[in-house]
Structure 1
C-alpha cells in the first residue's frame, strides 16, 4: 500500500510540477513580436464539449453497471443520473461493479481510434474529451480498488480473488498509463491550433494548451456540478475535480516539449447548438434520470 501511495503522489503532484519546471527552465527568453489573440470561441467550444463528454461518459459507466445486474437472477437495479442501486442478492453483483470502468475504457479506445480519421474542430474536440473522460474516470478506480475493497473496482478485484501483489501491479500500471494517455491526447489538442503559429514555440504551446484544455476543464468541472446534485458534497465535487486534474495537469505541464504537431485547426462555428445540447442533457439528467429508472 505504501508503494501505491508514493506512486500516487509522484503522478498527481511531483511529476507534473517537475515537468512544468523543466519547461520554464528550458524555454528561450523573450516572446515573438506578435502573439496570436486568444481564440475565445475555441475555449468556449472546448468547455461545453468537456461538459458533454464528462456527463455522457459517466452515464455510460452507470448504465453498464446496471445492465449486467439487470440480466442477473436475483438482482433488481435502478439507474439514476448520478448513481445506481440494486436490491436482491447474487455473488456476481460484486464482479459487475467493475463493468462500469471497463465500459468507459472501451469507449475511450473507440474514440481514440476514430480520432485518427476525424475532421472538423468540434468533432475532434469531442472525441478527445470522450477519450479523456473515459480513461481518467476508469484508471483512478483501479488505483482506488487496489487500496479499498469497498470501492467498485475493489469489489470486482476481491470477487476475482486477486492477490495483493496483483492489485499493486495493477495500480502501478494504471498510474503509469495516466501521463502516457495525457500526453497522447495532448497532441490532437495542440493540433487544433489555427494558425499553426499559435504553437510555434514551447511557450506558445503552453499558452495554447491552457486555452484549449486547462481552462475548459476548470470551467467544465464547474458546469458538471448541476448534473450531479443532489448527492453528498464530496461525491458531487471530488470526482469531477479528480478527473480534470489528473490528466490535464500532465497536458499543461508537458505541452512545451511536444513538437512536430500536425495541425488540423479549421475554426469553430456557433456555440448555440452546443449550449442547447448541454442544457438538453441537463434536463434529461434532472427530469428523467433523477427520479430513477428501474430495470426490472
Structure 2
C-alpha cells in the first residue's frame, strides 16, 4: 500500500468510525448525569409505526438516488460517438471505445451530489408540511451526499473507482487527489452532523428530545434502526449480483453516515419541533417501495439499452 493510500485509510477510519463512536460514548456518559431530571417529564410512548415508515422511505430514497447515479453514468455515454451503454438495476455497462468514457464515470456522482443539494434547498427554503415529505427529502439529501462524497475518497487512491477514472482522465496529480479525498472526508463528517437537527425536529413533543439521552434514543428509533431495517429491502432490489453491487454500497453508507447521526444526536438542540404534520399511515410508502422493487427486478434487471 502506497503512502497516499495509507493516509487516506487512517483518516477514513478516524473520521468515519472512531470519531462518531467516541462522540457517542461521551454522549452516553452525559446522558446518565441527567437521567434523574428527565424522569420528572415523561416523553410519552413511541409509535413504532414511525420507525417502519422511516425505514421504508430510507430504502426508497437509497435506490432512487442510486438509479439517478446510474442513469447519469449511462446517458452521457449513450450520447457519445462510439459508445453504447446499458442500464441495470445495480450497475451499468457499455461497449465501444472513446476516451470520454472515463471522464463520464464521474457524472453519476456529480448528478447525485447536485440532487442532494436540491433537496437541501427544498428543506431550507420551503420545508415540507408533512412528516412523510420531510423524511423523504431528508433521506434523499442524505443518500445523495453519502453515495457521492465517499467516491471521491475512494477515487483518490483507487484508479478503477468511478471517480478515480474521472481523476485519471483529468490527469490529476497524486497530491491533488489526496487533498480532494481528505477534503471530502471533512465534508462527510460535517454533513452527517448537520442531518441530526432536522431528524430530531420530527419529534412531536419537545419532551421527546429534551435531554441528551432522549435525543440519542429518538435518533436510534427514527434513523439508526430504520436504516438497519432497510438494508434487506435495499439488497432485495439489487440481487442478483456481485458483493460490491449488492451489499457493500448500502452497508458502507450506513457506517459512513448513520454512525455520525447516532453519535452526534445527543448534543443537538433541534428547532421547530412538532411543526410537521404526522403521517397518517405507512401504506403509501410501502406501496412505493413495492413498486420500486418490481421495477428494479422486472424492468431494470434484464437491462435497458441506450442505443
Q: Which moved more, 1:232-241 or 1:55-64?
A: 232-241
Distance in 1, matches of 2:47 and 2:196, equals: 18
Distance in 1, matches of 2:110 and 2:90, equals: 18
Gaps of 5+ in 2: none
Residue 3 (structure 1) aligned with residue 7 (structure 2): yes
Q: How does 1:212-291 map onto structure 2 within 5 Å?
A: 212-263=222-273, 264-291=275-302
Report the equivalent of 2:51: 43
What is the RMSD computed on CA atoms of the aligned residues?
1.1
Secondary structure of 2:93 counterpart: strand
Distance in 2, matches of 1:260 and 1:280, equals: 34
From 202, 207, 219, give the equivalent of 1:197. Answer: 207
Distance in 2, matches of 1:160 and 1:32, equals: 59
Report the equivalent of 2:303: 292
Distance in 2, matches of 1:95 and 1:189, equals: 36
From 75, 83, 86, give the equivalent of 1:75. Answer: 83
Change (3 A) 1:18 1:66: same
Report the equivalent of 2:144: 134
Deviations 1:64-109 (A, max 9, x none): 0000001100000001111100000000000000000001100000
Deviations 1:100-143 (A, max 9, x none): 00011000000001012222100000000000000000111101
State whether residues 41 and 268 of structure 1, in contact with CA within 8 Å, keep that contact through their aligned partners in structure 2. Answer: no
Change (3 A) 1:127 1:272: same
Report the equivalent of 1:207: 217
How far apart are 1:194 and its partner, in Å? Answer: 0.5
TM-score (norm 1): 0.97
Report the equivalent of 2:29: 25
Distance in 2, matches of 1:16 and 1:222, equals: 24
Distance in 1, matches of 2:113 and 2:244, equals: 24
How far apart are 1:260 and its partner, in Å? Answer: 4.6
Report the equivalent of 2:109: 101
Distance in 2, matches of 1:212 and 1:63, equals: 30
Distance in 2, matches of 1:272 and 1:26, equals: 38
How far apart are 1:145 and its partner, in Å? Answer: 0.3
State whether residues 74 and 89 of structure 1, in contact with CA within 8 Å, keep that contact through their aligned partners in structure 2. Answer: yes
